[in-house]
Chains A and B, each alone.
Chain A
Amino acid sequence: MWYEIFKFELKYRAKRADTYLYFALLFGYALIAVDFIFTENLDPVKRNAPFIIAKTMGIIAALFTMVTSMIMGVAALRDFDHHMSALMFVNPIKKGDYLLGRFLGSFVVLIFIFSSVPIGLILGDFMPWRLAEALLPFDLWRYIHPFLIVVLPNLFFTGAIFFVAGALSRKLLVVYTQGIILLMAYIFSIQWGQGQADGFIPALIDPFFYQAINRGTQFWSTTARNTQMVGLEGVLLCNRLLWIAIGWIVLGIGYYGFSFNVIRNSFLKQQKKATLSNENLQNLSTIKIPEFDLEQGVKSKLIQLKYHSLFYFQTILKEVPFWAIVICGMAIIFINSINLGTTHGVDTFPVTYIIVEELQEMSIFFFLIILIFYSGELVWKERDAKVDGVYDALPVSDSIPLTGKFIGLTLAYLILIGTMIGAGILFQTVNGFYEYELGVYFMGFFVNIFPSLILLTILSFFIQVVVNHKFLGHFVVVTVVLVSMIGLRAFGFDHGLYNFGAGDMGIYSAMNGHGHFLWGYAWFTTYWMAFAIGLFLVATLLSVRGMETNLIKRIRAGRFRLTPRFCKISIDVFLIFLFSGGYIFYNTNILNDYALPSTAAKYQVAYEQTLKKYETLPQPKIVATNLKLELYPEERDYKMEGFYWLTNLAEAPIEAIHVQKIPGTKFDLAELQFSKAGIRKDTFVDFGYYIYSLTEPLLVGDSIKMNFKQNFTTNGFTEGSNTRIVYNGTFFDNMNLPSLGYNHHIELQEERDRKQYGLLPKPTKANRDNPLALKERRKGDDSQFIDFEITIGTAGNQTALAPGTLQKKWTANDRNYFHYKMNAPMINFYPIASAEYEVLHDKWKPKNGLDKPIELEIYYHKGHEYNLDGMMDAMKKSFDYFTKNFSPYPYEQMRIMEVPRYKNRAQSFPTLVAYSESMGFIMDVKADNVDMPFFITAHELAHQWWGLQVAAANVKGQKTVLESLAQYSALMVLKAHYSEEKVREFLKIEEKNYLSARANAKKIEVPLTLVDDQSYIYYRKGSLNLFALQAYISEDSVNLALKRFIRDWNSFDGLRQKERYATTADLLEYFSAVTPDSLQYLIPQLFETVTLFDNKIANAAYEKLNAIEYKVKVKIDMNKFQLDRLGIEKTTALNDWVDVAIYGKEEEVIYHKKYKIKEEMTDLEIVINQQPIKVIIDPNYLQIDKDRKDNERNF
């Protein structure tokens, strides 16, 4: 019997257009999916590698769960929906047959639909835009295999869930709600996974398998990614089994729960049955309807609108799925906040803006679901309930029903927003954080999210009205929303006047609030709101009223709905649209320069093509800078005048000085004069490039003074506006000042763009023997150590900061003035900042008691006091350590200043560290955390030595000298003051980050000595390997090497730094010199090769020898790999020292010794006099281990 039902189902579906529509849709998507999902360059992983195909299939299966719900959800629901159930269920069929037939039939159809995915992916490889070199040769199994293990199980269990939900609830919306729950599980698994080193559980509970693939392959090498199938083993297998099992369980529930009864008894309450009352029937005709007036005025229309809105609002509130979504929305913050801005396992305090951003990021799904489904439901409400005949003939104006529905839905959003805010506050409270900023909540939801919701809702209403088919409408809405998010930007047209819903509220900053963004945002919002209202007006004209559904007829009939008031409103809206659009255009294109991205790129290309010839032209170097700056934060303007002293340090006289102004009309180089006679040629004035030909060449060693005035003016608003000069928290560096010679920063940076415009790829860092690069700290370096002096005037409530000792501070005309001067030369890299600051003062007194104390100051935003003491402490301890072990500190003060989080980083300048407000100031360091504010402060202070005293040459390995040494220095300060566990915790995270980053690296990994811009190498591996070095050869030896290194290579009086800057080769000399012969192998291993280990304890046991002695037997299995030139891992001969530690009952180390291991398998016998609990090899993270889990064995 079931077979008949099955056959019928297949036949029924075979005749339905939507079956083929879904097939075509998926096919079309699969065709472009790889390019759509992996927009980045995957090289050397091929674009059809098994790993990529599996991931793509996982994403497609997840994205198109909607299709599954539409196919499977309606399989049993259909009979109820079409009122067929009574006809169907009286037949002598068994429940099991009915359900089985329907399920299998639909499932087969579903498989058919999704079979378009592998087909599309296969054909996608043959599309003309695919490059043959990025592809592997075709192999059918590579597509079938992931289809079987990824797509099919997903279809099975999601299909089962949707089918059963539809059969049991008999409501389509309940089916959709299931989708949200799956989405929640997915988000949950992602969030949970991020915070965990071992992501077994998160990978297990990800219903769409995507996380599981990520987990299962996270340490796969490039070769493995290109050749190996994502197989069913470990967590991958468990994930599949779990979800298939869930599918079966759900089907079981469905079988037992399903009933053929057409009318169901409600579980909750018996429905009250109305009965005929005994009212005297004869009297009915004597009842007189009272007199009344009908009103059709504006007031009555408003009352109608109010009733209507509340009516629809209440109908949404009666929906269980709505509340399910609301509850999910509330829960999301608790799930998502598992990783609140986590750095090295340290969370930030749940300050309101972080909570708001977390909520916004996730809630958009919930809003979209409500928006898409309820706009469809509401537009169809009357027709679904078949009361449209009654409603449509009512003398209510055409706009009121649609407007009422719109407002009703909007009110429902308010409920969701309210619960979101409530959840946010609850979350803060639960975490013991009581500084609720209701204003920030308000802005984040009502000013930021709400208008875009309204835009999308109107769009959705409009589409539902025009398409006039609910499900097709949903699909069109989803598509249009996705397309509108990308908009014309994808084609290089990025102006907000034609990208739907444009308008940027910027990044919220605790210091600067929403800053200057609000004004532009308000105008864009007005503009698009007017547009949307226009759409809405059209929708009211076209909305179906009565029987006429043909769009053309509706358009024709629409003219009878044009009332005078309607026309007046339309004209008003149109005028607002025009006016706001015009005002935006005036601001962005007339007050400011607007250029299409392609125009801007062409400018950059022209710059490079025209002026690159001057790249290597010798130029004098800046040796002194003196600036006077008048900053007007409230206008976001400044006026600057000043001079550079330039000295010819080249080998020949210089005939012309090339000056580069910052491009853009905001920067005005009002004046440019030199102290020696010459002629200014403005040939390249379009590029802001001025050539000053000296009448008499500047001789070697001679100097010239360059006077200039530079004004920065902000007019009106733009999109993507400047965040350096802001109301509170101005922060910019000397990259914003005129520079000398050809400027590489103006070049087109993106590789893809460069290729498109026929430019050569940007060269990587120069080799370590490149004579030119050895003389530069950065490309086009235009300076030496400089003398520095600056006077800054700023608003009366702000403090201005720059490097140097404060000479004088005064107030004039309600403005504050600060005069700073450096006591010693510094590198030409300095910030200028101004904000309303609080300040914490302290002093660091040198241990020898002879040198002058260093002034320590932290300039912070009021309210951000959480970690001030820790940071101050870190400064002092860093000074202790660095001055003792490296060299004295050349300056008189050290300041930390808080800056807005437009750039989320900490950055070290001479005597000044700029610390983003979200970096360390609001970190919530718990007892078991590594003290990251402490570490970051120590790291940035270490740069006062590595970077600011020793400048590394701009060649390969530069970042190792600067960043790895800073990591090492900070780690040593941490080690001196925190427990070994904390240090190990830190190293553990570094190792994990290194391993996962290298797995995803696009380029062949290089050793530390040759690192270019791979931060996972110079930060993560730098910490690990320098820590290992000091563990092997002793901390003192490493510090001795560094002391010598800084002595010889510092920029003040370093003997070796006269001709060029230092490289990793130089650094290694010093390390070699302090390393005993027996450990010399470490230097190449740690710095000049990529070496990895896979150590494990193959076996471990102990026996009690006598009353006090125990014999521990350990079998160590060690493997060592090195990368060859092609990036392929090769097993390498062992001859390494490895730590073995045995722990006693109290987790204390009872035995710790280094063993020299030469064989892959080594048996150790250790006699100890305490009972052992566990044994660990390499407990201190000295050898980067691919799989550290098996390094430990409990007895």
Chain B
Amino acid sequence: MPTLKIKNLSKTYANGVQALKNVSLDIPTGMFGLLGPNGAGKSTLMRILATLQEADQGQVTFDKLNVLTQKMELRKRLGYLPQSFGVYPKITAETLLNHLAVLKGLTKKSERKEVVAALLHKTNLYADRQKNLGGYSGGMKQRFGIAQALLTNPKLLIVDEPTAGLDPTERNRFYNILSELAENTVVILSTHIVEDVKELCTNMAIINKGEVLMQGNPRHAIEELSGKIYQRTIRKSELADYKKNYRVIADKLLLGEPIIHILSETDPGDGFSRVTAGLEDVYFAHIW
């Protein structure tokens, strides 16, 4: 079973922003969730893994391949769905997918035809395959992106914020496809939606400001927090006071009323009630 090993990876942009600081991760086969807020460095990491960006320092190996130098070899095993991507508006889905398939090395015409057709079915685009991509909705475009990432059976699948803009049905369908693949593939899923990771991933990491704050099994992470999360409803004006007195890891609205979660080893009283810890609490606890 191939694994992806990232060791001390660093990247600083020309404008001085340090996007990755000594990132080290071990990513086994299966779904791996990369969780972090916007601007945490997720996409930079994903692009480096997808051979699209040079790292300043560090090593990345995948199944004995040096990802940073043996780009061509890696690309043969790679499926990549970028965070945002465009399409040629005046070309049909089938044409473009076919074209990409050729470029991936599916040069036998009969085989390619079948694979393209199967993928279009799988992503439910078959009926619209003759339509120009310019007329596709956001969800359809995203599905097209998935179809192209799955071309040629990748051993390493990198999907960057894939569910943005998808409705719940689409999202579920997408996750089904991913989890199916994850049985024998390294799938890295970057997202800022905690739910996604909870539902899918066997392993995860939380990064923020270029640093890995936590990595491991989501269930273990939740267990670590169990019994330490308390919540209460407050008035908006009280928020500042609470933040001063407690370790508030999240404030959100429930039916229009602010509700806060705090992390505490002991029961704080003061109207707080203990709640079952969720992955969201894990996330906030780390990035707060």
Which A residues have a C-beta under 8 Å from some C-beta of B?
A: 271-277, 279, 281, 284-285, 287-290, 292-296, 299-300, 303-304, 307-308, 311, 315, 318, 385-387, 389-397, 400, 545-548, 550, 553, 557, 560, 563
A386 and B88 CA atoms in complex are apart in Å by: 9
Report how far A293 CA is from B76 CA in the complex, Å. Answer: 12
Quick check: B126 and A279 within 8 Å, CB to CB? yes
- List 16 additional A-B contacts (Cβ < 8 Å) besides A290-B114, A308-B102, A396-B105: A272-B135, A277-B126, A279-B126, A289-B122, A292-B115, A293-B111, A294-B105, A295-B108, A304-B102, A311-B99, A386-B86, A394-B103, A395-B103, A396-B75, A400-B103, A546-B54
Q: Which of A303, A387, A397 contacts B107 (CB 8 A)?
A: A303
Nearest-CB distance from B245 to chain A (Å)? 42
Candidates B71, B76, B115, B148; contact of A296 at CB < 8 Å: B76
Q: Flag if A284 contacts B75 (CB, 8 Å).
A: no
B87 touches A547 (CB 8 A): no
B122 CB contacts on chain A under 8 angstroms? 284, 287, 289
Could you write out 20 A-B pairs with CB less than 8 Å apart?
A272-B135, A274-B128, A277-B128, A287-B121, A287-B122, A289-B115, A289-B118, A289-B153, A290-B111, A294-B105, A295-B105, A315-B88, A385-B86, A389-B50, A389-B85, A391-B103, A393-B75, A545-B51, A546-B53, A546-B54
Contact A394 to B100, CB < 8 A, known contacts A274-B128, A318-B90, A389-B85: yes
Q: Which B residue's beta carbon lies closest to that of A277? A: B127
Q: Look across to chain A and name the residue whose beta carbon is closest to the beta carbon of B44.
A: A547
Instruction: Give the distance in Å from the alpha carbon of A285 to the alpha carbon of B90 in the complex.
Output: 30
**Measured between alpha carbons, how far is A1068 from B176 in the docked complex, in Å?**
109
Given contacts A272-B131, A274-B135, A546-B52, contact A396 B86 (CB under 8 A): no
Q: How far is the CA of A391 from the CA of B121 in the complex (A)?
A: 22
Taking A387-B85, A394-B103, A395-B78 as contacts, is the C-beta distance between A290 and B115 under 8 angstroms? yes
Closest chain A CB from B213 CB (angstroms): 24
B257 within 8 A of A: no
- The reply to whether A547 and B153 contact each other, CB–CB distance below 8 Å, is no
How distant is the Cα of A274 from the Cα of B137 in the complex, in angstroms? 8
Most buried by B among A276, A279, A389, A547: A389
Interface pair B115/A393, CB less than 8 Å apart: no
Which residues of B are found within 8 Å of A545, using beta-carbon distances? 51-52
Residue of B nearest to A393 (CB): B80
Task: Give A548 to B55 CA distance when docked, in angstroms.
Answer: 10
Asked if A308 meets B103 with Cβ closer than 8 Å, knowing A292-B108, A395-B76, A546-B51, the reply is: yes
CB neighbours of A547 from chain B (8 A): 47, 52-53
Q: Is B124 an interface residue (CB 8 A)?
A: yes
CA of A487 to CA of B135 in the docked complex: distance in angstroms? 49
Does B105 contact A296, Cβ atoms closer than 8 Å?
yes
For B239, the chain A residues whose CB sits under 8 A away are: none
Name the one of A279, A387, A390 contacting B124, with C-beta atoms under 8 angstroms.
A279
Q: Report whether B107 and A281 are in contact in the complex, using a CB–CB cutoff of 8 Å.
A: no
Q: In whole Å, how far is B74's beta carbon from the nearest beta carbon of chain A?
A: 8
List the B side residues contacting A311 at CB < 8 Å.
Answer: 99
Let me know if B136 is at the binding interface, CB within 8 A. yes
With CB as the reference atom, state the residue of chain A lying closest to B86. A386
| Docked pose: A285 CA to B132 CA in angstroms | 25
Would you call B119 an interface residue if the criterion is a C-beta within 8 Å of the partner chain's C-beta atoms? yes
Of the candidates A287, A385, A396, A553, the one whose C-beta lies within 8 Å of that of B104 is: A396
Per-residue CB contact flags for chain B residues 66-105 toward chain A (1 = under 8 Å, else 0) read 0001011001101011111111111000000001101111
Residue of A nearest to B113 (CB): A290
Residue B134 lies at the interface, judged by CB distance under 8 Å to chain A: yes
Q: Shortest Cβ distance from B182 into chain A, in angstroms?
A: 13
Decide if B240 is an interface residue (CB 8 Å cutoff): no
Given A275-B128, A284-B124: A389 touches B111 (CB 8 Å cut-off): no
Distance (whole angstroms) from the CB of A432 to the closest CB of chain B: 43
Q: Flag if A390 contacts B80 (CB, 8 Å).
A: yes
Closest chain-B Cβ to A319's Cβ sits at a distance in Å of 10
Q: Please state if A284 and B121 are interface contacts (CB–CB under 8 Å).
A: yes
Q: B226 an interface residue at 8 Å Cβ cutoff?
A: no
Encode B1-33 as 1/0 by CB contact (under 8 A) with A. Answer: 000000000000010000000000000000000
B237 within 8 A of A: no
Q: State in angstroms the CA–CA spacing of A281 and B143 once bound together.
A: 14
Complex contact B84–A300 (CB within 8 A): no
Check if B106 is an interface residue, CB within 8 A of chain A: yes
Of the candidates B78, B105, B119, B135, the one having the most CB atoms from chain A within 10 angstroms of its own CB is B105
Query: Are A548's CB and B127's CB within 8 A?
Result: no
Tell me whether A271 and B134 are in contact (CB under 8 A).
Answer: yes
CB-based contact A307/B126 at 8 Å: no
Q: How far is the CB of A549 from chain B (nearest CB, A)?
A: 10
Question: Is there contact, CB below 8 Å, between B88 and A389?
Answer: no
B224 CB within 8 Å of chain A: no
Closest A residue to B96 by beta carbon equals A387
Question: Contact between B80 and A389 (Cβ–Cβ < 8 Å)?
Answer: yes
Known: A287-B121, A318-B90. A548 touches B54 (CB 8 A): yes
Does any Cβ of A come within 8 Å of B169's Cβ?
A: yes
CB neighbours (8 Å) of B54 from chain A are: 546, 548, 553, 557
Q: Which residues of A contact B274 (CB under 8 A)?
A: none
Q: Tell me the smallest distance from the CB of B63 to a CB of chain A, in Å.
A: 15
- CB-CB under 8 A from B99, the residues of chain A are 307-308, 311
Select A292's contact among B75, B111, B177, beta carbons within 8 Å: B111
CB-CB under 8 A from B132, the residues of chain A are: 271-272
Contact among B69, B87, B140, B176 with A285 in the assembled complex (CB-CB below 8 Å): B176
- Say which residue of B72, B86, B106, B148 sits within 8 Å of A294 (CB atoms): B106
B41 within 8 A of A: no
Check A285/B180 contact, CB under 8 A, given A294-B152, A395-B104, A550-B14: yes
Question: Do A393 and B100 touch (CB < 8 A)?
Answer: no
Instruction: Give the shortest distance, in Å, between B145 (CB) and chain A (any CB).
Output: 7
Q: Which residue of A lies closest to B120 (CB)?
A: A287
Rounded to whole Å, the gap between the CB of A940 and the closest CB of chain B is: 63
Q: A288-B118, A295-B108, A390-B100 are in contact. Are A281 and B52 (CB under 8 A)?
A: no
Tell me the complex Cα distance, A292–B107, Å. Answer: 10
List the A residue with the shortest CB-CB distance to B180.
Answer: A285
Q: How far is the CA of A163 from the CA of B32 in the complex (A)?
A: 51
In the assembly, what is the distance between CA of A245 and CA of B182, in Å?
Answer: 68
Q: How far is the CA of A281 from the CA of B145 in the complex (A)?
A: 18
**Whose C-beta in chain B lies nearest to the C-beta of A384?**
B86
Q: Which B residues lie within 8 Å of A284 (CB)?
A: 121-124, 173, 176-177
* Bound CA–CA A997/B89 (angstroms): 58
Specify the chain A residue showing the minimal Cβ separation from B99.
A311
In chain B between 128 and 152, which residues have their CB closer than 8 angstroms to a CB of chain A?
Answer: 128, 131-132, 134-137, 140, 145, 148, 150, 152
Bound-state CA distance A274–B132 (Å) is 8
Interface pair A390/B85, CB less than 8 Å apart: yes
Task: Tell whether B112 is near chain A: CB-to-CB under 8 Å.
Answer: yes
For residue B84, give the distance in angstroms from its CB to the closest CB of chain A. Answer: 7
Q: Give the residues in chain A near B102, CB-CB below 8 Å.
A: 303-304, 307-308
Residues of A within 8 A of B52 (CB): 389, 392-393, 545-547
A279 to B121 Cα, complex, angstroms: 9
Q: What are the residues of chain B within 8 A of A274 when measuring CB–CB?
A: 128, 131, 135-137, 140
**Residues of A contacting B107 in the complex (Cβ-Cβ under 8 angstroms):** 295, 299-300, 303-304
Query: What is the CB-to-nearest-CB distance from B189 to chain A, in angstroms, rounded to a whole number?
Result: 16
A251 to chain B, nearest CB (A): 30
Which A residues touch B80, using CB under 8 A?
389-390, 393
Q: Which of A277, A296, A389, A393 has the most CB of B within 10 A?
A: A393
Which partner residue on chain A sits nearest B131 by CB separation? A274
- Name the B residues within 8 Å of A394 (CB-CB): 75, 100, 103-104
* Bound form: Cα–Cα A394–B47 in Å: 13
Kindly list the 6 A-B residue pairs having the minimum CB-CB distance in the complex, ordered from nearest.
A386-B86, A389-B82, A546-B52, A277-B127, A395-B75, A300-B107
B249 CB to nearest A CB, Å:
34
Docked-complex contact A390 and B180, CB < 8 angstroms: no
Q: Considering only CB atoms, which chain A residue lies closest to B82 in the complex?
A: A389
Give A383's nearest chain B residue, CB to CB.
Answer: B86
A288, B123: Cα distance in complex, Å? 12
Contact in complex: B75, A548 (CB < 8 Å)? no
